[in-house]
Structure 1
Amino acid sequence: MNIFFPTDHCPEAWQQQKVIQFIESLQQQTRSGGSQHQIVSCPAEANVFLFVIHVAGFDPLSSHCYLNLRKHLLVKKFPDRCVLWDDKDFPLPILPGLYASLHQRDFDSREHRSFCYSSATNPYIEEHVQRNDIQPDLLVSFVGSISSPIRARLFEIDFQRSDVFIQKSLNLWDRLLTDDRHQDLQIEYAKLLLRSRFVLCPRGNGVSSYRLFETMQAGRVPVILAKGWVFPEGCNWEKFSLRIDERQIHQLPQLLAQYEPEAQTTGVLARKAWETWFDPAIRVHAIGKLIQSIQQTCPQRSYFWRSWQQRLIIARYLSRHRKGQLQRQIHRQIGTLLSKVTKSGH
């Protein structure tokens, strides 16, 4: 399969440049040989046109990216050959494609495939994995910001165990962070992953989290706390991950202790699954396989039919997003107040 990445759906020149840089990085990281799927630079050579969203820094409510995409010449001319790779927290599934954080309620197994994030993750994880000089001394860890109710609840609990490390952190996407501080936080987090037998992967703003794929890369066991997240196909997730009901988080140490003897073996399986499906070196091959899977199940639709479908999706999203935005604002304020109360109590 020949895959072409368009860039002219980006409203701004800097966004187009980010997509171009992403494509170049993907080509450089791709392991040569052994795959029937490749990136091409000419649309005439392509079997599939793959539009990417997150790497261009799009905000659905303040950007024309989705509108541009709906009216794109390729989408109009080849509606059944256009695919979207969208890893926004609240994606708009206006095209068949790969989605990192599409909620189960919006997921159509005929047109959608769950996948990893397109944008880069922590570059220091692989460096420390290859060194192999850190042994786990923690049962479980979690470091993150308050971006969902389940995370806020985690920070409220005192597990009273030295091998349970739960800490609220700065948001790594905060533009106020200096480059040096951002790098320090990434290195600290990479080391923490390797110190942990299990890593909590609660949902963030969206139902997915970068932490899940970083944990797999580190060869540790991801503990998924994300109601509504759809497991990516291909992997046998039951063999290398745990999914725990959010109502059971108070019992986390006891629940995880049952699986501790197999943690090392399970972590090896998690790393193997990452290398098979999510490693940048084989990502083009994985993308090609998933697109082929979509083509086998996705109903053929005319541009006119998809255009009306897209309008309904956008209208539903806008209504839901405004409601969700208000709820998240309330949760953050509650989390801040609880933190102040806890500090004053000490």
Structure 2
Amino acid sequence: MAKVLLYSVTLDPAFPGREPVHPDDPHQGKFTQGAQMLFAQSAASDSFGVHTLTDDPEQADLIVFAELGAEGLFSEWVRHHPWVKRYREKTFIFDVGDSSLPFLPGLYASLRKSYHSEGRTRTGYYLRLDENPHIDFRPPPEEYRYLACFVGSLANHSVRAQFRQIASDRMFIQDTSEFAQRMLYMSPQEKQQGFWPDYANVMASAAFALCPRGRGPGSIRLFEALRMGRCPVIIADEWIYPRRVDWPACSLSVAEADIPHLGEILESNLERAPELGLQARKEWEKYYSPEVRFHWLVEDCLSILQARRLPEAIAGRWAWRHLLNKSNLRMYWLSKKQIYRRSRRIVF
């Protein structure tokens, strides 16, 4: 049994990213605290009852920072937190960023193969306070309206751009590039009455949910498909699959180079779609549903601890080698610029 201190840097009163609460905000300004809040709720309803929460960093076996991006593109505010500096060997992060570098051990939703380490960094998943309420289990229909569907920006990566060539009556492809930013900031009423239900209805009408990589190799659509009970089609050569889930039993994997043949691949697996979709829901219930997600978060962190071969004080410094990549270095300085604009502080 582990005692876990579950936290977010956005809970600190002095956190510089705080903004005035808009009167129409249903989350009362707590969006950036969403992952921490959802894990805390999961701990309260944990069906395993093995691990417990604590507020004492000294007594905690694990300190887990659950973050949604406000901590900086490269976890700057977490890395400079007093608990991280004092309790480095038992501190972990749950990170949903698309461009995050593994400066801290933990779970990353969009983990690249080159960043993976059994004793330090593993693949997590996406967790948001504003999850689409219309994404929930729907039994497979007697007849699917679409062979496959994708609703999202095609401008985020060249893999997605190829979908323009495969759109057809059987493959529902909707490019949201033109209104992607507006979509993020729609009022809750707009989302409830328009985009959210339409998005869910399209996915429910398709045999397969296309889950291509975007800015990062991970895809939130993958976990939405699991939740709804639709077979995800994972198109992300660089992504590391999370452990435990029986992926061959609940999903299809298609190489990025095979996108031109996607229709043929899916047609050949159409008869399996209901079975794969139902198993997808079962896997979501076992590992990602609210009643179990806290338990498996802790188990993953404990597993990383057991597999650790180098002290984090050493392994953490080795992670800085990723800044030798020009793209990463450019994003790193962009993060510094964003932090300075918000806080008037330079944080490395």
Q: TM-score, normalised by structure 2?
A: 0.80
CA contact (8 A) 1:219 1:270 kept: yes
Alignment of 1:1-346 (within 5 A): 1-8=2-9, 11-12=15-16, 14=18, 18=31, 20=33, 22-30=35-43, 31-54=45-68, 56-60=69-73, 66-120=75-129, 121-126=131-136, 129=137, 136-145=144-153, 146-155=155-164, 157-160=165-168, 162-169=169-176, 170-171=179-180, 174-183=183-192, 184-301=194-311, 303=313, 305-306=314-315, 308-313=317-322, 315-316=323-324, 319-320=327-328, 322=330
DSSP 3-state at the match of 1:309: helix
DSSP-derived class of the 1:5 partner: strand
Aligned position for 1:342: none
- Report the CA distance between 1:96 and its aligned residue: 1.3
- Structure 2 CA distance for aligned equivalents of residues 72 and 306 of structure 1: 18
% same residue: 26
* Contact 2:42 2:294 (8 Å CA) reproduced: no
**Partner-residue secondary structure (3-state), 2:200:** helix
**What is the rounded CA distance, in whole Å, between the counterparts of 1:176 and 1:21 in structure 2?**
16
Closer, same or farther: CA 282–317 of 1 in aligned 2, 3 Å? farther
User: 1-side partners of 2:123 and 2:297: how far apart?
Assistant: 11
Structure with bigger helix share is 1
- The unaligned stretches of length 5 or more in structure 2 are 20-28, 334-348
Per-residue deviation, 1:29: 4.3
Q: What RMSD over aligned residues (CA atoms) do the two structures have, in Å?
A: 2.9
Counterparts of 2:331 and 2:77 in 1: how far apart (Å)? 25
- Give the aligned residue type for 1:222: P
Gap runs ≥5 in structure 1: 326-346
Q: Secondary structure at the match of 1:280?
A: coil
CA apart distance, 1:319: 4.4
Change in CA separation of 1:171 and 1:50 when aligned onto 2, cut-off 3 Å: same
CA offsets per residue over residues 178-209 of structure 1, 9 Å max, x none? 43333321111111111111111001111011
AA aligned to 2:296 is A
Structure 1 CA distance for aligned equivalents of residues 91 and 182 of structure 2: 30
Q: Kindly provide the CA deviation profile for residues 12-38 of structure 1, in whole angstroms up to 9, marking residues without a partner as x.
A: 262895555543333334534423123
1:2–1:40 CA contact under 8 A, matched in 2: yes
Deviation at 1:75, TM superposition (A): 2.1
